[in-house]
Amino acid sequence: MRLKFALFNPFSFTSFLLILLFSGVSAIAQTKIHRWAIGAMGGTNQYSGDLGNRIFAFDQAAYGFGGVSFGRWLNPSLNLTVQGTYGAFGYSNKVQNYAGHKIDFDLLFSLKFNNGVFLPKAHPIEPFLMAGIGTAGYRGSEIPYVTREGYRVNDIIIPLGAGVKYQVNERWAIQYYFLYKLTDHDVRDRYVPHAETNGQQDHYGQQNLGLIYVLGKIIPDGDVDGVPDKRDMCPYTPPGVPVDSLGCPFDTDKDGVYDYADKCAGIVGKASAAGCPDKDEDGVSDKEDLCPDIRGRSGMQGCPDADDDKVTDKEDACPDKAGVLKFKGCPDSDQDGIQDSEDDCPYRAGAASLKGCPDMDEDFVPDHLDNCPGLPGTQDTKGCPDRDGDGLHDLVDRCPDKLGKKEYRGCPELPTEVKSILDNALRGVQFETGKAVLKSESFPILNQVVDLMNNNPEYLLILEGHTDNSGDREKNKSLSQWRAEAVKIYLGLKGISESRISANGYGSEKPVGDNATAEGRALNRRVEFKIEY
């Protein structure tokens, strides 16, 4: 026959615990102020012995029980609990069975893990280990009288176990734990296999689920340090920090910095340096201060930084100018990667190859030296373009697409045959004496000039009239101008555009011969023909 403890309904009891669990918001558990607690619990007794080990099995050896407990807080790590349980026990299968009732009394010590070492003291989850001593009494008509061992109703038991408690709110907690109870006899299962021995001793396991209620008036203790708020001189102490009778953390070296926050506990220091010595009083402890005798900054490991550039003065090559770490504290105003002292253009970002100066047209001539900063050019022409590469930039080159010479304003030297025609014109063009009238013998030579201009449309013709120094100076200058104009008119009549010809008279200002001789004066009376492109 299988006997179960009818006063305990596991389903109803579990439902009640779940409702209570989800109604809680905070926890204080038992403390030195709230030392006492009572509890109610229920669960199963599970047999282990000669008939088999059925711990954690519920089909053949699980019988219900209920009970009460009284607990006392001893210190943050230990609780003392006295509990009593009453319920059924036994074993049942197709071949063998036995059953009865038993009452257990246990004295248990609990080692708590939310003691400020493994978990904070105020943590609502409290894992624990249990051990103690107790006694068990057995009753029931089916327990036989065994004369071989000298039947006794009571056993001495050693309970060992582990569990977890959850503090639902200031008053209530739920807990589960398993106790394995070692006994000192082997007669409860009615199984004695040999005449001279009692076989394997009968042991029991208890699966236990219960409610705990904390006794005593709720006294506010905001920092949960065991000192009520009304006499706590340090009501905001962090959880788990040991405190004195006034609720304040300990300060061993009496420097005004509590031990838990004192990085140099035992050595008198400064509060500004987390309790460590600080000779220069800059808020950086001497052991971390790279400049312990000079007042500095906490962000600079205690060293000064006069220009506030995050480079300490002792490492700053420019201590009075804010700079960058890359250049040891020297500035790079335009942020082009070249420090100002080596940058020819410190306020305009440029390339390292141009000493930090910009080059808008990328012709390798910096803009401040570039005569044509918007046009790619050459270094020979100071940044201006030179298409024909003759060293004369296009803006002043009369022949920008022809390789020339600077003395010819960028144009090539005139061919020999062109020079010959111009020389013939210089010697062969004749005028009537004192007049600007061309002699007929001048026409063939001028016609050669016409052909030359027609065959070379890029040519520009410059006519310069000259006289000797005979007569009035002003009249001579006017005559030289008229004679140059006369040649221009003749060429214009032959189809040469007036825009391609310029005529200027210089009188006697530019002699090429000696006006004191007849030969020299003859040379000075002339019209020069010059070609430009």
* pLDDT tens profile 16-62: 444 333 333 334 467 766 789 999 999 999 888 777 767 877 677 77
Q: What is the dihedral of CA 276, 282, 283, 289, to 10 degrees?
A: -60
Of the listed ranges 23-32, 309-318, 490-499, the least confidently predicted one is 23-32
Could you tell me the sign of the dihedral formed by the alpha carbons of 187, 190, 191, 197, in that order?
Answer: positive
pLDDT digits (tens, 9 = 90+) for 105-142: 999 999 999 887 888 877 889 999 999 999 998 876 44
pTM of this prediction? 0.42
SS3 451: helix
Quote the mean pLDDT of the chain.
Answer: 83
pLDDT score at 200: 63
Q: What is the mean pLDDT of residues 277-303?
A: 84
In this prediction, what percent of the chain has a pLDDT beyond 90? 33
Angle formed by the axes of helices 443-455 and 416-428, nearest 10°: 150
17: three-class secondary structure by DSSP: helix
- Contacts of residue 318, defined as CB under 8 A and 6 or more positions apart, other chains included, come to 307, 327, 328, 329, 330, 331
Neighbours of 222 (CB within 10 A): 12
Residue type, 170: E
Reduce the DSSP state of residue 82 to 3 states and report it. strand
Higher pLDDT, 162 or 57: 162
State the pLDDT confidence band at 488, using cuts at 50, 70 and 90: very high
Average pLDDT over residues 89-104: 80
| Integer Cα distance of 208 and 85 in angstroms | 10
Indicate the Cα dihedral angle 128, 134, 139, 142, nearest 10°.
Answer: 70
Closest to 77 (Cα-Cα) out of 46, 31, 144: 31
Highest mean pLDDT among 7-11, 115-119, 326-330: 326-330
Smallest CA-to-CA distance from 124 within 69, 175, 168 is with 168
Report the SS3 class of residue 277. Answer: coil
Residue corresponding to tokens 């930084």: 305
How far lies 385's CA from each of 127, 360, 382, in Å? 88, 14, 9
Q: Is the pLDDT of residue 384 over 60?
A: yes
Residue 282 CB neighbour total at 10 angstroms: 22
Q: What is the pLDDT of residue 104?
A: 95
pLDDT at residue 154 is higher than 60:
yes
Domain 10-214 fold is Porin (2.40.160)
Look at the domain 416-532 and name its fold.
60s Ribosomal Protein L30; Chain: A; (3.30.1330)
Reported as a pLDDT band with limits 50, 70 and 90, residue 179 is very high
Q: Classify the phi-psi angles of 131: left when phi > 0, otherwise alpha if psi is within -120 to 50, otherwise beta.
A: beta
pLDDT class for 190, splitting at 50, 70, 90?
low
Least confident of 195-204, 260-269, 329-338, 425-434: 195-204
> Picking from 59-63, 422-426, 499-503, 511-515, which range would have the lowest pLDDT averaged per residue?
59-63
Q: Which of 3-7, 379-383, 472-476 has the highest mean pLDDT?
A: 472-476
pLDDT of residue 94: 72
User: Mapping DSSP to helix (H, G, I), strand (E, B) and coil, where does residue 125 land?
Assistant: strand
Helix (H, G, I), strand (E, B) or coil at 106: strand
Shared fold status for 10-214 and 416-532: no
Domain ranges of the chain: 10-214, 416-532
According to the model, what pLDDT value does residue 61 have? 73
pLDDT for the residue numbered 290: 84
**What pLDDT sits at residue 437?**
93
- Going by their DSSP bridges, the two strands 501-505 and 460-466 should be labelled as parallel
**Residue 263 pLDDT:** 86
